């Protein structure tokens, strides 16, 4: 165990899984229907210190949206997002990793390419300063990278419900909202770019979440979403509960091309583009889950071959597997037009100056 790991994280690694966590019943977020059929069931396999409960994924009979029902209650967020959750440990990972390793260098280039695309979509070349909000920013790593490239051309903000994550984000020099995005008291028409990378599938109300993004964007602003695509071929191959995109029990909604379009159009966004890109992480999680579904005794082998948490470490083995999985995704995309990961770029119409679909609730204070 890494000596630099905080004591709280070490304790979290040792805690037993919780049984019978608090849950809430769900309905279809797009059409409101309670009529559904069971698609599959599954359980946590990435973190043995969260919960051992079995969860059910259902399909709405009316509109086809796929979602978790019942889902964890918000009070269980510290249970299903433990302190050692990989998004909260990026700083430790960067300290442990060899920054000169091939995997680290490839990841850095890919992240920079993504940032340049984001900023160009938001119009960085035509504005004196951009205001950027990262939703579910964890430790602020993406914002820090944006700031390192664009400097004073960008003003960076982060929002996350995890207090420890917000402390790290604030310490990195970014302004923060310490709450769920939906509840945060953010003024209307503030941002040129709102980023939600692997977040929309984890919120209790995607319609509310997307409407909030429309509300806080400036007219003409961009909402950038990245989320798993349950319409992909591998999601169909492993729909028996082992598909990595399920990410039990943290992912609550599962979109395909049709349902993400319906969400965006219902809220009032213009769809600028939808693209499908490789995602090696989903393959790590799929194959890890597949081995455990065969036999729980295979966990040491599964953890070694397809590490569900340490897949980002800059090892040669991780590099080889990452590039292999990405190549598989590109073959699938060539054959089917899609992958298990999609990027949706939405634009707020320049004519919309404010959005009064709902009033923001919550009592958190902007810091």
List, as one string, the DSSP characters of 57-110: EEEETTT--EEESSEE-GGGHHHHS-TT-GGG-HHHHHHHS-TTSHHHHHHHHH
The pLDDT of residue 193: 96
Distance of CA 61 to the CA centre of its chain: 26
Is the Cβ–Cβ distance between 126 and 192 less than 8 Å? Answer: no
* pLDDT per residue as tens, the chain (367 positions): 444 566 666 676 778 999 999 999 999 999 999 999 999 999 999 999 999 999 999 999 999 999 999 999 999 999 999 888 877 766 666 666 655 667 667 777 878 888 888 888 888 777 788 999 999 998 898 999 999 999 999 999 999 988 888 888 999 999 999 888 999 999 999 999 999 999 999 999 999 999 999 999 999 999 999 999 999 999 999 999 999 999 999 999 999 999 999 999 999 999 999 999 999 999 999 999 999 999 999 999 999 999 999 888 878 899 899 999 999 999 999 999 999 999 999 999 987 665 444 443 332 223 3
Q: How far apart are CA 193 and CA 345, in angstroms?
A: 10
Who's near 32: CB < 8 A, 6+ residues apart?
A: none
CA distances from 121 to 116, 117, 149, 299 (A): 9, 6, 16, 43
Q: How far apart are CA 202 and CA 144, in angstroms?
A: 23
Q: What is the pTM of this model?
A: 0.88
Is the Cβ–Cβ distance between 360 and 242 less than 8 Å? Answer: no
Q: Which residues pair with 24 in a beta bridge?
A: 71
Q: Where are the beta strands (DSSP E) in 161-237?
A: 175-178, 191-197, 217-228
Q: How far apart are CA 138 and CA 90, in angstroms?
A: 9
Strand 175-178 with 23-24, pairing: unpaired
The pLDDT of residue 109: 80
Among residues 250, 207, 224, the alpha carbon closest in space to that of 342 is found at 224
The pLDDT of residue 42: 97
The pLDDT of residue 157: 97
The pLDDT of residue 365: 28
Among residues 281, 229, 259, 264, the alpha carbon closest in space to that of 345 is found at 264
Going from the N-terminus, what domains does the chain have, and what CATH number goes with each? 86-347 (3.40.50.150)
């Amino acid at each position: 165990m890494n000596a630099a790991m905080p004591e709280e994280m070490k304790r979290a690694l040792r805690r037993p899984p919780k049984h019978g966590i608090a849950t809430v019943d769900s309905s279809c977020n797009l059409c409101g229907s309670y009529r559904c059929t069971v698609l599959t069931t599954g359980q946590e396999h990435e973190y043995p210190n969260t919960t051992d409960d079995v969860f059910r994924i259902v399909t709405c009979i009316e509109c086809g949206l796929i979602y978790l029902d019942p889902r964890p209650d918000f009070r269980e967020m510290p249970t299903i997002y433990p302190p050692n959750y990989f998004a909260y440990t990026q700083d430790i990972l960067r300290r442990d990793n060899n920054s000169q390793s091939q995997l680290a260098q490839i990841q850095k280039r890919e992240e920079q390419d993504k940032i340049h695309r984001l900023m160009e979509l938001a119009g960085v070349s035509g504005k004196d300063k951009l205001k950027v909000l990262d939703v579910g920013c964890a430790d602020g790593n993406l914002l820090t990278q944006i700031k390192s490239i664009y400097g004073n051309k960008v003003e960076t903000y982060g929002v996350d419900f995890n207090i420890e994550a917000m402390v790290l984000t604030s310490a990195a020099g970014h302004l923060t909202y310490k709450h769920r995005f939906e509840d945060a008291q953010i003024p209307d028409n503030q941002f040129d770019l709102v980023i939600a990378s692997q977040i929309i599938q984890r919120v209790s109300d995607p319609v509310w979440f997307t409407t909030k993004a429309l509300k806080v964007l400036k007219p003409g602003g961009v909402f950038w979403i990245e989320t798993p695509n349950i319409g992909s071929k591998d999601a169909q191959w492993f729909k028996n509960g082992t598909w990595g995109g399920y990410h039990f029990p943290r992912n609550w909604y599962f979109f395909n091309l049709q349902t993400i379009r319906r969400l965006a159009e219902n809220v009032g966004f213009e769809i600028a583009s939808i693209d499908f890109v490789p995602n090696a992480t989903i393959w790590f999680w799929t194959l890890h889950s597949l081995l455990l579904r065969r036999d729980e005794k295979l966990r040491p082998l599964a953890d070694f071959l397809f590490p569900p948490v340490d897949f980002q470490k800059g090892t040669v083995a991780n590099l080889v597997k990452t590039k292999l999985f990405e190549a598989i995704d590109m073959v699938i995309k060539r054959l089917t037009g899609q992958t298990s990961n999609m990027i949706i770029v939405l634009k707020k119409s320049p004519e919309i100056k404010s959005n009064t679909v709902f009033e923001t609730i919550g009592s958190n204070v902007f810091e």
